[in-house]
């Protein structure tokens, strides 16, 4: 049989060899020979050759958090191989552009595909009116390469420099770099509002230099991220809560028998050297000098967390004099004055004594878990003492958290495994802090009841610090999983990521309150703590 008609001649594949080309207004053809591309998940309608598709996730923990909290984002798949790939999205019209070391701000729901050389992120739109909704967010695409977006109908590109430009928020698809945006409120007057309004209450006002692309439709669903479900519920009261805490006497140490050759409490033989080391460690741990020094260390910890809280507040509200929102940045606020230098030296001494006390605990404790825990605390306090010393000595170094040795380690399998293990450890410590705060287990570290307000401060402080550690650990694990050193964020980097989220200033303020509460509890522990 013969098929008559022009169907197969009118709609033949185009012969273009460009990386991105339009097969028609609603179908994009991609030449895979130019390298991998990113395409909207599920947008493939056909391909010829050998093309593979991989879902690589949201592109890192910071993008995942931004996407879930803002509702903005892009759900993309990586396409690799050879041949021709055809993509489309609900028969929407497709617009293709080439960026040359440039940037565009685009609605995430309109992104169809882009070259692998293009970087994307979720960014806050700098608009005064955007504060009414906790912030406005868009997807930024930057770099050099091809970008394909979709529109409902043929759009219009308006030159914002030629005249004041306004558009409906649901009709705006994208704008180029150099364009500024603000929110304009037009009520139409009291009579108009009483009659039901005009439907044009909120408008986007554009200025600067560049173009804004507007489509002839207002039915775009803002944001490309998927919706999330929230589970209700809470934590039940558990043994160890504040109302059930008992106040036992001083913790008994698992002493190693004094007789050489006799077996200890877990069956291990004890040598003369072990007995000598144990006796020396026990005597040092029980000395009045170590006890008073450790209490000074708890007070130093309180001061440190109060300073961190102050730095976080300055970061949250853009106050002048802000620095790194971590231990070194907090301690640096004390440098430069006589009283500050004195406090820094007391901090060095206090943390050094806390480290020494934990070393004695690691040597005296009988349980392997208790020894390991004490050794870990000794390392942390020792690091804090060294950090304070570098600040008071003027040799502390700020800077980024993801360059140099981090990038080198991230380029090797062993380095990524090391970062993953470190991240999981920090996550575990964060969970430990949250549980310890929620169940008021920190009361076991005190020799007597410290008062209701101290207990409340301890609960809030431990939970807030635990959440901060969970964020830091999550970024380390994400860096190891994605082999991206820029994802390896410390406390400062994690808090700055939170600052970019909706209501970021409010979230950072709550974090500052939590760190201040932990600082208040630490001062109480300096008085009531078991040493």
Q: What is the pLDDT of residues 153-202, one digit of tens each?
A: 999 999 999 999 999 888 999 999 999 888 777 766 666 665 666 667 67
Q: Residue 481 — pLDDT band, cuts 50, 70, 90?
A: confident
Mean of the pLDDT values across residues 68-94? 86
pLDDT tens column, 510-524: 888 999 999 999 999
pLDDT tens column, 189-246: 666 665 666 667 678 889 999 999 999 987 544 444 433 333 333 333 333 333 333 3
Comparison of pLDDT for 496 and 235, the residue scoring more: 496
Mean of the pLDDT values across residues 257-275? 45
pLDDT at residue 285 in the model: 54
Strands (DSSP E) contained in 14-92 are 20-24, 27-31, 37-40, 44-54, 76-87
pLDDT tens column, 91-139: 999 999 999 999 999 988 899 999 999 998 887 776 544 443 334 678 8
Phi, psi torsion values for 369, nearest 5 degrees:
-65, -40
Report the 3 state secondary structure along 190-248: HHHHHCCCCCCCEEEEEEECCEEEECCCCCCCCCCCCCCCCCCCCCCCCCCCHHHCCCC
Residue with tokens 């401060």, as numbered in its chain? 457
Mean of the pLDDT values across residues 251-276? 44
Superfamily of domain 7-156 in CATH is Mitochondrial biogenesis AIM24 (3.60.160.10)
Q: What percent of the chain has pLDDT over 70?
A: 72
Mean of the pLDDT values across residues 140-160? 94
Whether 473 and 490 have beta carbons less than 8 Å apart is answered as no
Comparison of pLDDT for 504 and 404, the residue scoring more: 504
Q: Residue 255 — pLDDT band, cuts 50, 70, 90?
A: very low
* pLDDT for 22 beyond 60: yes
Q: Residue 10 — pLDDT band, cuts 50, 70, 90?
A: confident
Whether 46 and 13 have beta carbons less than 8 Å apart is answered as no
Comparison of pLDDT for 515 and 402, the residue scoring more: 515
The C-alpha torsion from 322 through 323 and 326 to 329, rounded to 10°, is -120
pLDDT tens column, 51-63: 999 987 666 666 6
Whether 304 and 330 have beta carbons less than 8 Å apart is answered as yes
pLDDT at residue 419 in the model: 77
Mean of the pLDDT values across residues 323-351? 76
Q: Residue 336 — pLDDT band, cuts 50, 70, 90?
A: low
Q: Hey, which of 72-76, 79-83, 133-137, 217-221 has the most confident mean pLDDT?
A: 79-83
Among candidate residues 449, 516, 525, the one with its CA nearest the CA of residue 294 = 525
- The CB-based long-range contact list for 316-321 (8 Å cut-off, 24+ gap) reads 316/499, 316/504, 316/505, 316/506, 316/508, 316/509, 316/512, 317/505, 317/509
* pLDDT for 31 beyond 90: yes
Q: Hey, which of 67-81, 261-275, 444-458, 493-507 has the most confident mean pLDDT?
A: 444-458
* pLDDT for 264 beyond 90: no
- Listed by start position, the domains of the chain span 7-156, 286-528
pLDDT tens column, 343-360: 888 989 998 999 888 888
How far, in whole angstroms, is CA 488 from its chain's centroid?
10
Taking the CA atoms of the chain, what radius of gyration do you get in angstroms? 30
Q: Residue 488 — pLDDT band, cuts 50, 70, 90?
A: low
């Amino acid at each position: 049989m013969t098929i008559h008609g022009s169907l197969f001649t009118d709609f033949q594949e185009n012969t273009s060899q460009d990386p991105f080309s339009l097969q028609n207004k609603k179908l994009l053809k991609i030449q895979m020979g130019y390298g991998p591309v990113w395409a909207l998940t599920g947008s493939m309608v056909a391909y010829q050759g050998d093309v593979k598709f991989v879902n690589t996730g949201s592109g890192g923990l910071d993008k995942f958090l931004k996407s879930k909290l803002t509702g903005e984002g892009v759900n993309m798949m990586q396409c690799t191989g050879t041949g021709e790939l055809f993509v489309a999205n609900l028969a929407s019209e497709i617009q293709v552009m080439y960026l040359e070391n440039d940037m565009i701000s685009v609605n995430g729901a309109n992104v169809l595909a882009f070259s692998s050389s293009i970087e994307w992120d979720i960014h806050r739109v700098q608009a005064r009116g955007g504060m009414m909704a906790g912030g406005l967010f868009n997807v930024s695409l930057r770099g050099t390469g091809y970008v394909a977006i979709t529109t409902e109908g043929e759009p219009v590109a308006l030159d914002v420099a030629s005249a004041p430009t306004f558009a409906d928020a649901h009709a705006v698809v994208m704008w180029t770099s150099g364009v500024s945006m603000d929110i304009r409120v037009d009520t139409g007057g009291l009579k108009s509002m009483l009659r039901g309004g005009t439907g044009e209450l909120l408008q986007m006002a554009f200025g600067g230099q560049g173009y804004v692309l507007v489509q002839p439709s207002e039915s775009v669903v803002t944001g490309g991220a998927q919706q999330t479900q929230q589970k209700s519920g809470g934590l039940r009261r558990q043994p160890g809560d504040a109302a059930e805490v008992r106040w036992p006497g001083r913790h008994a140490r698992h002493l190693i028998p004094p007789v050489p050759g006799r077996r200890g409490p877990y069956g291990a033989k004890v040598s003369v050297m072990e007995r000598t080391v144990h006796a020396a460690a026990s005597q040092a741990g029980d000395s009045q000098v170590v006890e008073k020094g450790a209490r000074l260390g708890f007070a130093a910890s309180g001061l440190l967390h109060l300073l961190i809280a102050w730095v976080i507040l300055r970061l949250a509200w853009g106050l002048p004099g802000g620095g790194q929102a971590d231990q070194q940045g907090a301690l640096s606020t004390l440098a430069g004055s006589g009283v500050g230098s004195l406090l820094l030296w007391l901090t060095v001494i206090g943390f050094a004594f806390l480290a020494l006390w934990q070393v004695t605990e690691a040597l005296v404790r009988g349980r392997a878990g208790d020894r390991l825990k004490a050794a870990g605390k000794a390392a942390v306090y020792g690091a804090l003492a060294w950090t304070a010393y570098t600040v008071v000595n003027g040799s502390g170094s700020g800077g980024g958290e993801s360059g140099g040795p981090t990038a080198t380690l991230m380029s090797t399998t062993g380095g990524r495994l090391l970062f993953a293990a470190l991240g999981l450890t920090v996550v575990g410590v964060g969970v430990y802090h949250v549980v310890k705060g929620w169940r008021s287990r920190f009361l076991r570290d005190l020799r007597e009841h410290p008062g209701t307000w101290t207990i409340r401060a301890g609960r809030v402080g431990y939970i807030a610090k635990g959440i901060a550690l969970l964020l830091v650990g999550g970024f380390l694990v994400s860096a190891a999983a994605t082999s991206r050193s820029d994802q390896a964020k410390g406390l400062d980097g994690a808090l700055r990521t939170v600052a970019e989220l909706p209501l970021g200033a409010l979230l950072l303020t709550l974090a500052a309150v939590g760190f201040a509460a932990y600082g208040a509890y630490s001062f109480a522990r300096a008085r009531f703590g078991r040493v």
